[in-house]
Structure 1
Amino acid sequence: MVFKKNDIALDLRFILNEVPFAVLLEDNQRRLQFVNPNFCKLFNIPLEPEQLVGFNCEQAAESAAPLFKDSQEFLERVKEILEKKEPVRQEILELADGRVYLRDYLPIINNNFFEGQVWIYYDYTYAHSLEMKKNNQKKFYESILLNIPADVAVFDKDHKYLFANKRAIKNDEIREWIIGKDDFDYVKFRGRDVSIAEKRRELFKKVVNQKEFNEFLEENITPEGNIQYHLRRMHPFYADNNELEFVVGYGMDVTSIKNAEENVNRREKNLAQITEILSIAVIVIDQSFNVIYTNSSFESTFGYASDDIIGKSIDEIAIENISSLIKEIGLAKRSNSFEGSTKEYRFQDKYGSKRYLSISFVPYNTAESNEIFYAIFFSDVTDQHLAVSELQKIIEKEKRLNELKSGFVNIVSHEMRTPLSVIQSSAQIMEMLNEANKLDRDAVDFHTKRIVSEVNGMESLMEELLLISKIESGKVEFRPFPQDLESFVKVILHEKYTQLADGRQMQVIVKGVKQEVEFDRMMMNHILNNVISNAFKYSEGKRDPILQLHFRHHSVTIMVMDYGIGIPEKDLQNLFKAFSRASNVDSINGTGLGLHVMKYFTDFHQAKIYCKSQINKGTCIMLEFTYKSYLNAKNSIN
């Protein structure tokens, strides 16, 4: 399609009308040429954009100046920008009503001639409030860190001080002096034993070399002659490129703890219990199902920070199966019974990860209020669930292997006995004819063909057994790539099914718009040969079978239909099991392995199989393959 200049202008006008920010375009005389609806909305202008075209922008700026916190500064800054005619990016403007805007300015210069300018405004109020909150939080945490009741220091990679809080160094002047120096400088300045600096340096090197947290107990003598114990800890922090960024050192006076070991043990036990509780995700709701508390484990489990969900109803949280949990709590409230067993649910966090969690909840009330609250505890049992699932897979695999073993014994004892008997009898007959000097060419041809036929059948059986063995042991590689499925089908039909003894041929029908399909050639060759050969084998003397390819929007279906003996309904459920054959096949040769292997290969492609059949009317097998990529598919069956 060819666009004219006017068409492009209309398209640009349409785009500027739809962008999520306010746009104003004025010419070099400061006459308004264009303004979008968002500009009128942002500045509460009760006119349509088209009605503003031609306005004097200088007068409009003066009229709008009272909207801003400092109207005079607003006008002076506009004047300054217009004089410089240089681009301005994301300039912050504060409005009188508390809102905050970002402003961009772009001069329009064509062939060194100034033609006008574009002003762009964004509502920055919410983002600005978050930024202010972040800065306030930063100051708040810096204040906490500076005044925290524990020695805290930060070191660079050379063990030089980057920061020390008031507890570590009380004197403000010395705390400033120590920045850029190390503990050797400090002990020298203080006139203390150099072994203190040596021990700290040894710990520093240890945590840096081992790249993990470490600690030691430091023993000092106070000016009063008392022994004082400090627990010194260091923790290294590394950048994404594995380069050391800094080391945090922190310590605390543990003298009283050392002198009261029993009290320490009790406290450690309590701390261990608290840690165990906090390792479980906890959320507390009121009687209206509004969230009033979550712990840090809840955020790590579900991806929702406390600030994002406190005050909201629990059913507003996008967590899978949360409605089932609400229903359980509602039933417990109505029956006033909270002694039910712990239940397991599958949940999905905000990032799409799925976990299995064991859930329990209890009601409680506080001393200050009689209001009932509900504490809900989430324990991650994903590993246990997956372990059970893997165990079930192993059991199922063992079951399949046992079935294969049993079937193999049956094949060896029955299916192979007949061809071996045929081979033996043909060989004996030829031997007898030869001894009687009656072995002519026709007899040799007849018995040789019988032997070759039976050998080929046994060879085919062994190949299928070996193929199943390779699949079960995970040695079959899955190598799909986009291909022309129609051509692939036609090649198979041409090579194997154009000169059948009874003269029949496969009738091919193609529907829809042909597309490339991703498939593994070896596996698809086995799938197609199996369903096509079965269609001919079980419909001898009947109409030509039909193969239909139907290309749809998201998938392609391969349907093979014959008019043969059909499959009894009772046999359909075992159709794809190893060594399973329909009860009406009589003397038609077969091992019961072909469809079993085909099922494996369709599973590799994540394809679906449908089968419909009626006795003496025929069978229809339909395979559905999607056009999706298999880049993440498994290379083998486990």
Structure 2
Amino acid sequence: MILNNDKLYSQLNFVLNKIPFAVLMENYERRLEFVNQNFCQLFKIPLAPEQLIGFDCKIAAAQSAAMFSNPTQFLVRIEEILTAEEFVSHEIVELADGRSFLRDYLPIINEGVHNGHVWIYYDYTEARTMEYHILHLKKFYEQILNHIPADIAVFNKKHQYVFVNQTAVRDDSLREWLINKDDYEFAKERGKNISFADIRREAFNQAVSTKKVYEFLEEGINRDGHHKFNLRRFQPIFQENGELEFVVGYGIDVTSLKKTEEYARQKDIIFAKVADLLDVVVIVIDNNFQVVFANAAYESFFGIPTSQIIGKEIDAIAIEDTSIIRKDIAQYQQTQHAHHTAKVYQVKDKYGMIKYFSYSFTPYVQGKAGNINYAVFLSDVSDQYYAVAELQKIIDKERRLNELKSGFVNIVSHEMRTPMSVIQSSAEILEMLNDADKVTKPQLQLYLSRIINEVRGMESLMKELLLVSKIEGGKMEFKPSPQNMNEFIEQINSTNFSPYKDGRKIDVQFKGQEYPVSFDKLMMTHILKNLIENAFKYSSNKASPIIRISYHKSKVSILIKDFGIGIPDKDFPNLFKAFARASNVEGIKGTGLGLLVVKYFVDFHKASIHFRSKQNQGTSVLLELKNHDT
């Protein structure tokens, strides 16, 4: 038997039935030793867990194989895992009803002897649906990029294509062939001179080495055999750790701009007509920083007639900060090098909506006199910007969930070991005393109190885990209403801390003219109880904590101060992280989840919380709630 102690089994049964995973334990002969309620619910088993104890799991697996999309493969894979006797993590299992599960397997090995198996299942259906959704978004944005009237390509670290849009390469087969190839291979395939590949490679390396956008003018021959000029730009994208992730190449045809010396008047007409057809905002600026042209897209986006900015300095255009444009033009005037600073502008369109525009510019010769003008391009990248932001939210949420899972495993394997040991030892002592008929009422009370306290501690941990899970899952409702803050705090104090278990009482002080404060009672109760409990818990044998409620015109501040062990400076960055505790709390019980939940609830209120502390000198916590009436 894997679990041969009835009391230990009872405690494990209580804990494992609380965790949000399906758990099954079998002995080496594959007889079922334990299964929790979540397992029965996940696999729709119409029996109570205790009715399944002793079942032959091999027979049960064969009988339930039809639930899976590939019954044969399901059974074969179980035998493979059991034969290997190695840890398996997050293996995807597909069910016939369309659900997807993640499966973990842990061999139970005691002193080198294999005693049994643990199977853990998680419902992965929603996460799998999210993955498909992300894939759909990827295809969606690829379709958008393919219809943008500009050459767009994405390169890996080796300057090999990983994406190129249809505007750049119309031939589908050639576009597919280009993936994981570079321009030298393209030149060889098409029998072209490699000089253009040399220029592009140099520009690519320059952008990567400087970590800035690099822009250059490329001359070539178009499909009709005529000269063409493309303004090309390489923009390197780096990860947070500084490592290059990929490089985006962007090119627009500026052939008409290069022909201005020969076809000045014709060019102006063509340029104006073409620019008016573009979705990109085009603004032309002369050497004196005055606007000489703006296309129809400018008026379409900003709702401002182009006549209002023609002839005026660039500060008149509908973006707040034109210093970047001035700087790039001034740099070109000094160096004759068309390099500009990467910039994304946040502006309001004619409907008052926030939009994001990427900026680029190119100089060109205007007329026979050889005057230099500068074409500024503002491209609407709002969709890409919001898509990246949304994907980042998904990534951040997934990372938080992974941290919570890792922390949960650590809590189960470490933090619960001590209470389980206390419970087991207390139960065994009581059992021995009872067998010897020597148990006394004080002894019974002592050991029962230990068991009850440890069980309550584990129950508190499980409640906090479930609360965090509820918040992360977006299932927590925020219900604020105007309340009397003074009475609310007095009620919490009298119910929970008057006095504290060590006999101390908190000193409650009120300042200013009170007024109703809007907050969620459930959340605020949790916030204040946690912070006051911490003030007592971490200041044992010290002066009583203080709580001061101050009313200001625009906010209500609640200061909770203790004179205890304080928080080391190195632990401040981890205050609101799951399962993180200060390095000086050894011997003081805690889960590392309390302040995480507090921070969630503070954010619900759009309030603020600040800590000030020094080790061995106490801690002050300042909670500030806005007065929404102001």
Tell me which interval the TM-score lies in, with the shorter structure as reference length.
0.5 to 0.7
CA distance in 2, matches of 1:434, 1:382: 74
SS in 2 for 1:377: strand
C-alpha separation in 2, matches of 1:590 and 1:300? 59
Determine if contact 2:563/2:618 at 8 Å carries over to the other structure.
yes
**Structure 1 pair 303/331, CA: closer, same or farther in 2 (3 Å)?**
farther
* Structure 2: distance between partners of 1:521 and 1:394: 30
CA 1:333–1:479: 2 relative to 1, 3 Å: farther
Deviates more, 1:327-336 or 1:490-499: 327-336
* Residue 578 of structure 1, CA deviation: 0.7
Counterpart AA for 2:482? P
TM-score between the two structures when normalised by the length of structure 2 = 0.54
CA shift, 1:496, in A, is: 0.5
Aligned partner of 1:226 in structure 2 is none
How far apart are the structure 1 equivalents of 2:404 and 2:319? 43
Partners of 1:544 and 1:486 in 2: CA distance: 20
Shift of 1:277: 5.2
Matches within 5 A, 1:190-589: 274=274, 278-317=278-317, 319-340=319-340, 343-349=343-349, 352-367=352-367, 370-589=370-589
1:555 is displaced (CA, Å) by 1.8
Residues 320/626 of structure 1: CA separation in 2 closer, same or farther (3 Å cut): farther
Structure 1 SS opposite 2:355: strand
312-321 vs 383-392, which moves further: 312-321
Contact 2:340 2:361 in 1 (8 A): no
Once the 2 structures are TM-superposed, how far is the Cα of residue 499 of structure 1 from its aligned partner? Answer: 2.4
Aligned pair in 2 of structure 1 residues 462, 306: CA closer, same or farther (>3 Å)?
same
2:347–2:356 contact (8 Å) kept in structure 1? yes
TM-superposed CA distance for 1:433, in Å, is: 1.5
- Structure 2: distance between partners of 1:513 and 1:329: 58
- TM-superposition CA deviations, 1:391-411 (whole Å, max 9, x none): 222222222112111111111
1:616 aligns with 2:628: no
Which residue does the alignment assign to 1:234? none
* Contact 1:283/1:291 (8 A) holds in 2: yes
**Aligned equivalents of 1:447, 1:494: Cα separation in 2:** 30
Q: Distance in 2 between matches of 1:463 and 1:330?
A: 63
* In structure 2, C-alpha distance between the alignment counterparts of 1:625 and 1:476, rounded to whole Å: 20
Report the residue type matching 1:522 in the other structure: L
Residues 574 and 580 in structure 1, CA contact (< 8 A), matched pair in contact too: yes
User: How does 1:117-128 map onto structure 2 within 5 Å?
Assistant: none
CA displacement at 1:319 relative to structure 2: 2.1
**Residue pair 2:576, 2:596 contacting (<8 A) in 1 also:** yes
Q: Structure 1, residues 68-113: CA drift from partner, whole Å, max 9, x if none? A: xxxxxxxxxxxxxxxxxxxxxxxxxxxxxxxxxxxxxxxxxxxxxx
CA-CA distance at 1:620 after TM superposition: 0.7
Alpha-carbon separation, structure 1, partners of 2:565 and 2:305: 65
Shift in Å, 1:370: 4.1
Q: How far apart, CA to CA, are the structure 2 residues paired with 1:334 and 1:347?
A: 30
Deviation at 1:449, TM superposition (A): 1.3
Question: Quick one: distance in 1 between partners of 2:355 and 2:461?
Answer: 44
Aligned equivalents of 2:326, 2:513: Cα separation in 1 = 49
Cα distance, 1:492 vs. partner? Answer: 0.9
Structure 1 position 303, deviation (Å): 3.1
Q: Normalising by the residue count of structure 1, what TM-score does the alignment of the two structures yield? A: 0.53
Q: Which has the larger radius of gyration?
A: 1
Q: Hey, what's the Cα distance between the residues in 2 that align with 1:332 and 1:551? A: 58
- What is the alpha-carbon distance in structure 2 between the residues aligned to residue 629 and residue 579 of structure 1? 37
Q: CA RMSD in A?
A: 2.5
Identify if the C-alpha distance between structure 1 residues 628 and 383 changes in structure 2 by more than 3 Å, giving closer, same or farther: farther
For 1:313, the aligned partner's letter is E
Contact 1:562–1:619 (CA under 8 A) maintained in structure 2 = yes
Q: Secondary structure at the match of 1:347?
A: strand
**What displacement does 1:567 show?**
1.0
Q: Does structure 2 conserve the Cα–Cα contact (< 8 Å) formed by 1:567 and 1:613?
A: yes
Tell me if the contact between 2:580 and 2:593 (Cα under 8 Å) persists in the aligned partners.
yes
Aligned equivalents of 2:459, 2:448: Cα separation in 1: 16
Q: CA deviation at 1:624?
A: 1.9
Cα deviations across residues 563-585 of structure 1 (Å, max 9, x unaligned)? Answer: 00111111111111111111111
Conserved 8 A contact 2:277-2:296? no
Give the AA of the match of 1:400. Answer: R
SS in structure 2 of the partner of residue 573 of structure 1: helix
Q: Which residue identity does 1:279 align to in structure 2?
A: D
1:496-538 CA-partner distances (Å, limit 9, x unpaired): 0102233211112222332332222221111111110000000
Whether the 8 Å contact between 1:282 and 1:376 is mirrored in structure 2 is yes
- Amino acid paired to 1:519: F
- Partner AA of 1:577 in structure 2: K
Q: How much does 1:352 deviate?
A: 4.6
Which ranges in structure 1 are unaligned for 5 or more consecutive residues?
A: 1-269, 631-638
Structure 1 residue 359: deviation in Å? Answer: 0.9
* Partner amino acid, structure 1, of 2:623: L
CA offsets 1:323-362 (integer angstroms, 9 cap, x no match): 3333333333332221447543333446653222111112
**Runs of at least 5 residues in structure 2 that lack an aligned partner in the other structure:** 1-269
Find the aligned partners of 2:320 and 2:605 in 1 and give their Cα distance. 29
For residue 375 of structure 1, report the CA deviation from its aligned partner. 1.7
Once the two structures are TM-superposed, the CA of residue 608 in structure 1 deviates from its matched residue by 1.9
Contact kept? 1:320, 1:348, Cα under 8 Å: no
In 1, distance between residues paired with 2:337 and 2:275?
Answer: 29
CA distance in 2, matches of 1:561, 1:568: 16
Q: Relative to structure 1, is the Cα distance of residues 367 and 276 closer, same or farther in structure 2, using a 3 angstrom cutoff?
A: closer
Quote the residue 1:598 is aligned against.
Answer: 598
Q: How does 1:24-63 map to 2 (within 5 A)?
A: none
Give the direction of change, closer, same or farther, for the CA distance of 1:383–1:506 in structure 2 (3 Å limit).
same
| 1:456-503 CA-partner distances (Å, limit 9, x unpaired) | 111110000011111111111222223222222221111101022332
2:282 counterpart SS class: strand
Alignment check: 8 A CA contact 2:356 2:380 kept: yes
- Conserved in 2, the CA contact under 8 Å of 1:321 and 1:347? no
1:336 partner letter? Q
The CA deviation string for residues 269-322 of structure 1, in whole angstroms up to 9 with x for no partner, is x99x94895211112222232223222211232332223333332213452333
| Aligned counterparts, 1:143-158, within 5 A | none
AA aligned opposite 1:616 = N
